[in-house]
Structure 1
Amino acid sequence: MDNPALSPDTVRTTCPYCGVGCGVLATPGDDGTVAIAGDPDHPANFGRLCSKGSALGETVHLDGRLLEPQIDGRAASWDSALDLVASRFSTAIREHGPDSVAFYVSGQLLTEDYYVANKLMKGFIGSANIDTNSRLCMSSSVAGHMRAFGSDTVPGTYEDLELADLIVLTGSNLAWCHPVLYQRIAAAKVKRPQMRVVLIDPRRTMTADIADMHLQIRPDADTALFVGLLGFLAEQSALNKAYIAQYTTGFEAALAIASPCDLETISIKTGIAPDQLLAFFTLFARTERCVTVYSQGVNQSASGTDKVNAIINCHLATGRIGRPGMGPFSVTGQPNAMGGREVGGLANMLASHMQIENAGHRRLVQDFWASPTMATKAGLKAVDLFKAVGDGRIKALWIMATNPADSMPEADLVAKALKTCPFVVVSDINANTDTTAYAHVLLPAAGWGEKDGTVTNSERRISRQRPFLTLPGEAKPDWWIITEVAKRMGFATAFAYQNPAQIFAEHAALSGTENDGSRDFNIAAHAAISATGYDALSPFQWPQSQRSGSSGGRFFAGGAFFTPDRRARFIAVHPVDTVTIDQRFTLNTGRVRDHWHTMTRTGKSARLSAHFAEPFAEIHPLDAAERGIADASLVKLHNDHGNIIVRALLTDRQIRGSVFVPMHWTNQFSGSARVDILVTSRTDPVSGQPALKMAKVDIRPFEAAWYGFAVLRNKPPTMTTDYWALARTNDGYRIELAGLRDVDDRAAFAEALFGCGEGAPLLRYHDEKNGQHRMAVFAGDGLIGALYIGRQPVAVSRSWASEQLSQSFSAAQSRFQLLAGRPGKDMPDKGAIVCSCFSVGRNEIASAARGGCQTVVAIGEALKAGTNCGSCRAEIRGIVDANLVQAAE
């Protein structure tokens, strides 16, 4: 994989965002910057990167980094901190038993970190109370795989997405959540126009731009749809009877629920018109090469496992599995969700895809580890784990690389549980998150660019994350932190690792132990890997056994499942009743294009904060009109668990009766937008995954007395307004503001906001009649801050105003122009940012469309917009089409 064009300083590594697992070329500069490019030789992305991946170099600065251990908020030595962690955990185990302690870990950990954490908890502490935030995103897929295949096996590869003649995307906004896979499909569709794409989603997301058919399904009705499809396949003689007979069991029981296929009944259950159902079912029945891609929209449900099995049933029934261009395909949300599954990071699993309930597996792992004790039953899954923290069963909790005070359902109760827990340890890269606030001990961990280890992507491909930055301050790798605590707990011999290569080699050796093909996960070919070999390790797909080396490719085309009789299991699943009478809205949570989880990384990038700079709620215009909600006004969403305040975004892309709110905003970025406080802790009974997309909420206008917008050079130390949302700009911050009561002393409010001190020379404009007030303060020729207040959401060009923090204001006219809130005629307003990669705004795209650029390609040639990651192309197309319609009227 040598490339002579690469700089000698360039390091091949892997992106730390979604489960696509893109290869990255990182080149550190002498000035402290890092140049980022996609790795053209990496088989996951072939050089493509999304907007988040492209901006990685903007997120590695040390602002907000935790750089030294802390005990009770005070700096401490590593020895003091590690001794205290080991002592408190050991005391809790001695006094209350091993199940009184727990680890809550993350798909942000590398496989080597995950491995030693799992080994310590399950094999040496003797409890399975280690669970992961991956429980929240893909554990229903794991459970569905286990029920059908006898193992947590993803059968296919990314290549299948390009070979398929039909791709069904269900519960997956691929364009925004897995943009590189979306672009691979888009490129394949250009080459083979006969390829068809069906999108199944309550929202008409940006992924609909590539879809030939969009089925706007009722929330949680996926099981009914795919059970109906199974019945249709049987009636149309589209079954692969030979495959069913030779390689499966349980078909008749599954079909008994699915038959007969009554399109009218299925329509009532799903909300999809009968003619659309018939068109989709017929397309599926007639298309041999079919891949069904599913993600959080399927998994994050109280019936998520049944949804997964309903999908798998249709592929087993047609024999469309394990062959080129066909199969069910779970795409994961985190960079190492798969690696965590491989080492037993979930509370109900053992390392190397072994089962904790299996006595033979427990004996094998215990013998291999030479461990003194072994967990004998599944531990507490995430939701139950934090309930146990809250009721006092858990005496000591260690949280690694995740932010449960925001991301867990009923997040306020989770925060309360953390507050009352006797001992909380948090390993993180950031000093201030909503979770670190509750830590008795904070441990500074290595971040992306400093980490050294492996991750596994959604197609079972293991890649290296390599360091290209020195560890800052006293930060340490997670594997080192865990093993140092293990040594202090008396387990030094078993945790005497000197580097991550040794951990990886042990992990590989375990995968091949007593594995004659009875287990899917096997990378024993790497069991004797050296440090040099590890450093040079190229991306590879498992299994790679010691005997056969790389088998490559796919699973299950010829059966060979991992059940006792080697046959797949059809699961007889019953659709849930989704037709309920409830005047409340169904709350759907999820991601936006340019942000990631709780913004601990992406929130540091001005470019990534430009597309959506504040939290919002997508509401259908008719629903909004019934409740007196205007576009861009503020709304309150509330239920028995709490309330949040966000901006209203009215769009007919949203199905009536539902509302979408992003998951990313925390108390670090907004005053009241932690959406998971509204989500109930209801879980799937099989997988334990919470129903993060099915909460019920009421919505009403937030009756603000005033609205504001500000740009400022320095981050305010505190915010006291009833609504605020903060975002990074290139040279400071931008803030949206609102309050229930008028500001009594606007000058004092501005001075406090700007941090410029009382009596600062404010440039002011006041229009008492219209309630408009504008103030700015300067230091020399530079802008310290500008504040705009009005009785309605203020009409200010946000992108232009944000850029003024880097401008010179030596001329008085320019200062008065700033108070106007818009550029002069000689300075066009680019509008809201659409293309984050090149900072191209909506107005620029619209102007180019009116000037003759009538396609997305033409816009790209003129403005570069959409020519890098391509995530914005659907939005560009919408702007172009809207302007073409206006021109024709």
Structure 2
Amino acid sequence: MSAAQPSAQPGEIRTTCAYCGVGCGVLARPDGQGGVAVRGDPDHPANCGRLCSKGAALGETVGFEDRLLYPMVNGARAGWDDALQQVADRFRQTIAEHGPDSVAFYVSGQMTTEDYYVANKLMKGFIGSANIDTNSRLCMASTVAGHKRAFGTDTVPGTYEDLELADLVVLTGSNLAWCHPVLYQRLAAARATRGTKVVVIDPRRTASCDIADLHLPLAPGSDVALFNALLSEIDRRGAGDAGFARHLDGLQEALAAAHADDPAATGLDPAQIAEFCDLWIGTEKVVTVFSQGVNQSSSGTDKVNAILNCHLATGRIGRPGMGPFSVTGQPNAMGGREVGGLANALACHLDIETAAHRDAVRAFWNAPAMPEGAGLKAVDMFRAVERGEIKALWIICTNPAVSMPEADRVRAAIAGCDFVVVSDVTARTDTARLAQVLLPAAGWGERDGTVTNSDRTVSRQRAFMAPPGEARPDWAILAEVGRRMGWAEAFGWDGPAAVLREHAALSGVAAGFGLDFDITGLADISEAGYAAMAPRRWPVSATALGGRFFGDGRFFTPSGRGRMVPVTARPPMAALTPERPFRLNTGRVRDQWHTMTRSGRSARLSRHIAEPFLEIHPDDAARAGLAPAALAEVTGPGGRAVLRVLVTDRVRRGEVFAPMHWSGETAPTGRIDALVAAATDPVSGQPESKAAAVAVAPWRAGWFGFAASRSRPEPGCDYWSRARGEKGWRLELAGAKAPADWEAEARKLFGLPDARLSRVSDPARGLERLAFHVDGRLEAALFIAPEPVAVAREHLAGLLGEGGGQPLSGRPGADAPDPGTTLCACLNVGVNTILTAIESGRALSVEAIGAALGAGTSCGSCRPEIAALLAAARQPEAAE
């Protein structure tokens, strides 16, 4: 890509998306009034102009509502000087009294590389502890460990282009269609134009199966057994690359372990395994894409190495269209790996447990101290907080009180810590509410820095609006604390470009050790060069630029040879019991992100799925007495959740699935990580988030409700879920016992003591409908029923602020059909609208629906759901 990048129009600013590790380029056009229009950057190599539904809605998430605008200390507003001095003093005092390991940082893959670098330098080089870990521990630590075991460094061998050059792409533990939609669209386009075969390996039938030639619904946690079966078959057929084997250690040991493993552990029919092996072995250009379904396991590192073993044995690595490919979950998980954001790493892929590496970094930083070993990984860190061993904790840009396993226990540990600092964009998170000191951070669109995506492409995030109130970028906050702790020279940067220059110069030290990470070509970048910096894939040096790794047989181990690691399948740590007979899988939904601090601000992103749910097989639902749309209580050893029931054969019998996005701010009983035990991989420390053992039973509600309100309601009932609407808020409600006075309850819920009330009541049937008007306009409405409420939700929410309509009817008139739940978030097309087009016969394919309604023509991630509607519509015809 040229530095000029001509496709941006006047007034547009080039930046990079705030969400997943695809790292899509975004063109942002601020309107000068605090708003911004966004579109995909056609010149960015990651997305070539495409955006997913979340990226397309970024402009709806930049408002200043709910923003933390100034520092707060003990719940009261404070100045920056007082707040930062208190942070510096408390950390310095704690270190003096209890040693450097009594403090910790917990940081985030949503920080820029510059933010990350400053945090790591402060903790590891100057405080002298390795107690800094990142929420990326929860998503890709097993990949890091697997890469290091096989390659000697945490190196991603291939590039995104390999998805389009491959003849076979295997998606294992990756719902690419929903979690990395732009990469999915690149793959779907390759399949359509060149016939790329696709295999999906996943216990669930996900949206990614829409383009799969083969779906392998293996038993949870059995990936090692499957890839060992593949490696064993590679050996039996003589399909290994003898020439490439000269560059490998451990081949025979890995083969012996593979032959000894039992493929029956997968639960798959032998014919399915044979078909997979035939495809994989018979296709030279094969890419194996893996993600959280592989990583989030107590055997995650072994799973990664089982995949790598197959590519190494066949030499299918580091060449166009072939190789193992880890896709990361966060926009800068890779950047965090590059600066040593994990507790067991140093910057620039140097090793914290190698004395020569430690000494070199210490000398480069002129640091007073350097830890001699790894610090506490995330789960262990919060256990140490719980025990009182960590007495001062700084949490930056993440929400561990929701996202950590055993979330209730973690929340209690943070609440009991002597001193907690939280830097974030809002005070309205479960974690921020526990802090003694809250620091307002600049968010996406307000800060400058770099991020690295899943294929090693470094891109700029640029500011296109001023931070609100007194908010500051994280690197600047951290640097000021470093200066106040006595290290003024080491933390004296004048901007993020200076931080990047130092990071790039340090990468030269790593290159001197013969390691992979080298961006020394950026060590002299000017301010103007930083401002204009185009995306580029590392390495960036005088001798190398981008490209692939390992195709030449050269690795970064001490011997220079790749390592094949013998691995054996192990079941998940949590054993199923008669008391907890279900295997709980957790993951993402299409239109939300992490704990919804950003994505939850967009009304259209909440239209698709507005509340937490539990997917359960029809047979299991029948045995448990669970009806569709009822509520289920899910219990584990560490907590409970109450979730809306979704009966579907997408999950296997004995298995359930629930998304991980909802928090105490949006659905308190939907905090699903409270159910996930803190079992971890012994090598990577990554938690097993997809194989908890749980019990499932009906939650007997005495009443159900739906509400819409112009102002933010604060419910207090047993079950509730709150989501943004275009004109206010939407609520799903339920309770064990109905209140004595529904009018009084509704006025309290909506904060409308004096609004005019319209009401339809049938106490004998348990039905209530209440609408509140102010100055003739609808302010709020509440519908109550003894069963899940049947109401046209989009219609009712759309009447807010209006003077007409019939809100108590709950339905639009005949002249205004109900579009139903939004299926295409990009273009706001509802399920009922699509079904009407199908039933009328005017749109009988995904393409025809796109042409008629636009659905599926933007990011395309709703196309699998459109295909499912079409398939369901055809079933009655087939039966006739």
Q: Same fold (TM over 0.5)?
A: yes
Q: State the partner residue of 1:738.
A: 734
Residues 1:621 and 2:622 are matched in the alignment: no
Partner Cα distance (1:800, 1:881) in 2: 27
Residues 1:674 and 2:671 are matched in the alignment: yes
Partner Cα distance (2:616, 2:424) in 1: 35
Q: CA deviation at 1:33?
A: 2.0
Q: 1:755 to 1:581 in 2, by over 3 A?
A: closer
Pick which of 1-10 and 120-129 moved more: 1-10
Q: State the partner residue of 1:825.
A: 814
Q: State the partner residue of 2:585.
A: 588
On the 8 A contact 1:269/1:578 being kept in 2, the answer is no
Q: SS where residue 600 of structure 2 aligns?
A: helix
Q: SS where residue 764 of structure 2 aligns?
A: coil
Q: What is the aligned counterpart of 1:315 among 311, 315, 327? A: 311
Partner Cα distance (2:572, 2:642) in 1: 28
Partner Cα distance (1:864, 1:307) in 2: 40
Q: What is the aligned counterpart of 2:342 among 342, 346, 362? A: 346
Partner Cα distance (1:581, 1:335) in 2: 35
Measured against aligned partners, the alpha-carbon deviations of 1:707-761 in whole angstroms (never above 9, x if no partner) come to 0001111112x32111000000011001001010122101111111221105x43
One-letter code aligned to 1:654:
V
Q: What is the aligned counterpart of 2:855 among 860, 865, 868? A: 865
Q: State the partner residue of 1:204.
A: 205
Pick which of 664-673 and 29-38 moved more: 29-38
Q: How does 1:571-650 map to 2 (within 5 A)?
A: 571-577=565-571, 582-583=577-578, 584-650=581-647
Q: 1:581 to 1:726 in 2, by over 3 A?
A: closer
Q: State the partner residue of 2:244.
A: 243
CA RMSD of aligned residues (A): 1.3
Q: SS where residue 807 of structure 1 aligns?
A: coil
Residues 1:566 and 2:560 are matched in the alignment: yes
Q: CA deviation at 1:797?
A: 1.2
Q: State the partner residue of 1:841.
A: 830
Q: CA deviation at 1:206?
A: 0.4
One-letter code aligned to 1:409:
P
TM-score normalized by the length of structure 2: 0.98
Q: 1:204 to 1:188 in 2, by over 3 A?
A: same
Partner Cα distance (1:549, 1:221) in 2: 39
On the 8 A contact 2:348/2:510 being kept in 1, the answer is no
Residues 1:330 and 2:353 are matched in the alignment: no
One-letter code aligned to 2:69:
L
Partner Cα distance (1:189, 1:181) in 2: 12
Measured against aligned partners, the alpha-carbon deviations of 1:194-219 in whole angstroms (never above 9, x if no partner) come to x1100000000000001110000100
Q: What is the aligned counterpart of 1:357 among 336, 353, 363? A: 353
On the 8 A contact 1:218/1:578 being kept in 2, the answer is no
Q: SS where residue 515 of structure 1 aligns?
A: helix
Q: CA deviation at 1:26?
A: 0.2
On the 8 A contact 1:845/1:880 being kept in 2, the answer is no
Residues 1:790 and 2:785 are matched in the alignment: yes
Q: CA deviation at 1:382?
A: 0.3
One-letter code aligned to 2:138:
L
Q: State the partner residue of 2:419.
A: 423
On the 8 A contact 1:198/1:211 being kept in 2, the answer is yes
Partner Cα distance (2:125, 2:576) in 1: 49
One-letter code aligned to 1:138:
M
Q: State the partner residue of 1:807.
A: 802
On the 8 A contact 1:619/1:659 being kept in 2, the answer is yes
Q: 1:437 to 1:688 in 2, by over 3 A?
A: same
Q: State the partner residue of 1:63.
A: 65
Q: SS where residue 610 of structure 1 aligns?
A: helix
Q: What is the aligned counterpart of 2:717 among 718, 721, 737? A: 721
Partner Cα distance (2:396, 2:204) in 1: 33
Long gaps (5+) in structure 2 = none
One-letter code aligned to 2:515:
R
Partner Cα distance (2:759, 2:680) in 1: 54
Number of residues of Structure 1 aligned to a counterpart in Structure 2: 873
Partner Cα distance (2:427, 2:385) in 1: 23
Q: CA deviation at 1:132?
A: 0.2
What's the % identity of the aligned pairs? 58
Partner Cα distance (2:117, 2:763) in 1: 64
One-letter code aligned to 1:828:
P
Q: 1:871 to 1:487 in 2, by over 3 A?
A: same
Q: State the partner residue of 1:554.
A: 548
Partner Cα distance (1:732, 1:621) in 2: 35
Q: How does 1:204-603 map to 2 (within 5 A)?
A: 204-244=205-245, 246-259=246-259, 265-266=262-263, 268-513=264-509, 515-516=511-512, 518-545=514-541, 547-550=542-545, 552-577=546-571, 582-583=577-578, 584-603=581-600
On the 8 A contact 2:139/2:296 being kept in 1, the answer is yes
Residues 1:187 and 2:189 are matched in the alignment: yes
Q: 1:239 to 1:437 in 2, by over 3 A?
A: same
Q: SS where residue 661 of structure 1 aligns?
A: strand
Q: How does 1:165-176 map to 2 (within 5 A)?
A: 165-176=167-178
Measured against aligned partners, the alpha-carbon deviations of 1:172-215 in whole angstroms (never above 9, x if no partner) come to 0000000000000001111112x110000000000000111000
Q: What is the aligned counterpart of 1:854 among 837, 841, 844? A: 844
Partner Cα distance (2:8, 2:227) in 1: 48
Partner Cα distance (2:90, 2:763) in 1: 61
Measured against aligned partners, the alpha-carbon deviations of 1:789-810 in whole angstroms (never above 9, x if no partner) come to 001001101122111114332x
Partner Cα distance (1:671, 1:346) in 2: 30
Partner Cα distance (1:224, 1:472) in 2: 52
One-letter code aligned to 1:557:
G
Q: How does 1:654-803 map to 2 (within 5 A)?
A: 654-716=651-713, 718-757=714-753, 760-803=755-798
Q: CA deviation at 1:358?
A: 0.6
Q: SS where residue 418 of structure 1 aligns?
A: helix
Long gaps (5+) in structure 1 = none
Partner Cα distance (1:196, 1:127) in 2: 48
Q: SS where residue 805 of structure 1 aligns?
A: coil
Partner Cα distance (2:18, 2:513) in 1: 32
